[in-house]
C-alpha cells in the first residue's frame, strides 16, 4: 500500500480490515518519538518567541551608540559586551534574530513559489514541458550558489530583500525536484484516473488530489532550507550585500566582530553560536521529519 492521501477512500475501515494510521498522524508520531527533534523544535520556538518579544526583553535600544562604552567586555551592565560603536551586543543579538528568521522565511517562500508549481506541472504533464523545466532547474543547480547569489544581488542592488530573492532562486531547484518526483510517483494512481474520469480538470486534479501528497516531503525540504537560508543570509550580510545599517543580522554582527578581532575577540561568539545552533536545530528538525515519514511508510507497508 502506497503512503498517499486518497480523496476517494472511505474514511471508515471496512469490516475485518486492519486499521492503517493516516500518513500525517504517523509522521507526527514519528517526530514526537525523537528527543532531539523535540529539543530542536523547542529551541526554534523560543527563538521565534524571543524575536517577536524583542522590544520587551532587549535590555537596551540596539541602535543607541555610546562611544565612551565602545568595545567593553561582558559585564553586569552589558552581559555580552558592547561593539565598536558602544551598542549593547545582547540587544543587537535579540533584534538580529528577527531579521535572520524573517529573511530565511522570505527566501524559502520565494523558493517554494518558484519551485513547487513548476515541479507539480512537470511531473503531472511530462513531455516537452517536463524537459524544458528540468533543464532550467538543472542549469540553476549547476552554478555555484554563492557566486550566483552575489551576481543576482549585484544586478538588483544590495539589501536584505534582494539578497533573499537571490537565495530563494538558488533554492528553488530543490523544491522543483522533490515536487516533480513525488508527482510522477502518484500521477498514475487509481484515484487520480478516477478524478479525471469524473470530469475534473488538470488544475483541480493537481490542487485537490496531487498537492496533498506532495506536501509531506516538501515540509522536509522547507525545514532543511530554512537552516540553509539562515547561513546564506549571514554570508551575504557578512560581505555587506544583505541587511543595511542601522539594522543588523547575525551575519553583519560577525562582520563587525571580524573587524575588531584583535581588540574584542568576544564579539564573534554570540552571533557565531546563534547561527550554529539555529542551523543545527533546523537540521535536526528536518531529520526528525524525514524519519517520521520513513516510520509512517513502514507502518503503512505493514498494514498492507
Phi, psi angles (nearest 5°) of residue 82: -125, 160
Q: Which residues of 23-41 are buried (b: 16+ CB within 10 A; e: fewer)?
A: beebbeebbeebeebeebb
Q: Give CA–CA dist 213/4, Å, rounded.
A: 6
Statement: residue 264 has pLDDT above 50: yes
Phi, psi angles (nearest 5°) of residue 88: -70, 120
Ramachandran class of 193: left when φ > 0, alpha when ψ lies in -120 to 50, beta otherwise: alpha
Statement: residue 35 has pLDDT above 90: no
Q: Is 82 helix (H, G, I), strand (E, B) or coil?
A: strand
pLDDT score, position 7: 46
Q: Which residues of 203-212 are buried (b: 16+ CB within 10 A; e: fewer)?
A: eebbeebbbb
Distances (CA, A) of 295 to 11, 18, 210, 298: 21, 18, 22, 5
Statement: residue 216 has pLDDT above 50: yes
Q: Is 246 helix (H, G, I), strand (E, B) or coil?
A: coil
Dump pLDDT digits (tens) for 83-92: 888 899 999 9
Q: How confident is the model at residue 30 (pLDDT cuts 50, 70, 90)?
A: low
**221: its cell numbers:** 525540504
Least confident of 82-86, 191-195, 208-212: 191-195
pTM above 0.75, yes or no: yes
Statement: residue 273 has pLDDT above 90: yes
Average pLDDT for 231-238 = 88
pLDDT > 90 in the chain, percent = 26
Average pLDDT for 7-31 = 49
Distance of CA 143 to the CA centre of its chain: 21
Amino acid at each position: 500500500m502506497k503512503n498517499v492521501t486518497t480523496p476517494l477512500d472511505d474514511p471508515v475501515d471496512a469490516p475485518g480490515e486492519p486499521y492503517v494510521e493516516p500518513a500525517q498522524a504517523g509522521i507526527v508520531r514519528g517526530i514526537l518519538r525523537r528527543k532531539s527533534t523535540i529539543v530542536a523544535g523547542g529551541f526554534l520556538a523560543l527563538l521565534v518567541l524571543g524575536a517577536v518579544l524583542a522590544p520587551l526583553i532587549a535590555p537596551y535600544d540596539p541602535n543607541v551608540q555610546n562611544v565612551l562604552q565602545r568595545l567593553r567586555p561582558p559585564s553586569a551592565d552589558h552581559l555580552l559586551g558592547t561593539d565598536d560603536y558602544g551598542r549593547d551586543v545582547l540587544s543587537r543579538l535579540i533584534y538580529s534574530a528577527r531579521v535572520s528568521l524573517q529573511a530565511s522565511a522570505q527566501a524559502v517562500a520565494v523558493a517554494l513559489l518558484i519551485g513547487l508549481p513548476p515541479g507539480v506541472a512537470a511531473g503531472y504533464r511530462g513531455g516537452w514541458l517536463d524537459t524544458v523545466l528540468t533543464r532550467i532547474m538543472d542549469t540553476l543547480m549547476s552554478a555555484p550558489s554563492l557566486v550566483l547569489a552575489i551576481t543576482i544581488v549585484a544586478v538588483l542592488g544590495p539589501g536584505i530583500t534582494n539578497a533573499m530573492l537571490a537565495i530563494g532562486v538558488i533554492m528553488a531547484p530543490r523544491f522543483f525536484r522533490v515536487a516533480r518526483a513525488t508527482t510522477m510517483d502518484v500521477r498514475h494512481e487509481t484515484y487520480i484516473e478516477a478524478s479525471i474520469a469524473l470530469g475534473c480538470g488538470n488544475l483541480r486534479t493537481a490542487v485537490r488530489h496531487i498537492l496533498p501528497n506532495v506536501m509531506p516531503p516538501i515540509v522536509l525540504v522547507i525545514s532543511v532550507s530554512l537552516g540553509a537560508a539562515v547561513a546564506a543570509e549571514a554570508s551575504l550580510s557578512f560581505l555587506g550585500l544583505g541587511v543595511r545599517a542601522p539594522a543588523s543580522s547575525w551575519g553583519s554582527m560577525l562582520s563587525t566582530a571580524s573587524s575588531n578581532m584583535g581588540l574584542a575577540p568576544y564579539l564573534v561568539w554570540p552571533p557565531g553560536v546563534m547561527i550554529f545552533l539555529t542551523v543545527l536545530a533546523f537540521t535536526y528538525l528536518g531529520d526528525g521529519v524525514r524519519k517520521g515519514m520513513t516510520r509512517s511508510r513502514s507502518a503503512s507497508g505493514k498494514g498492507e
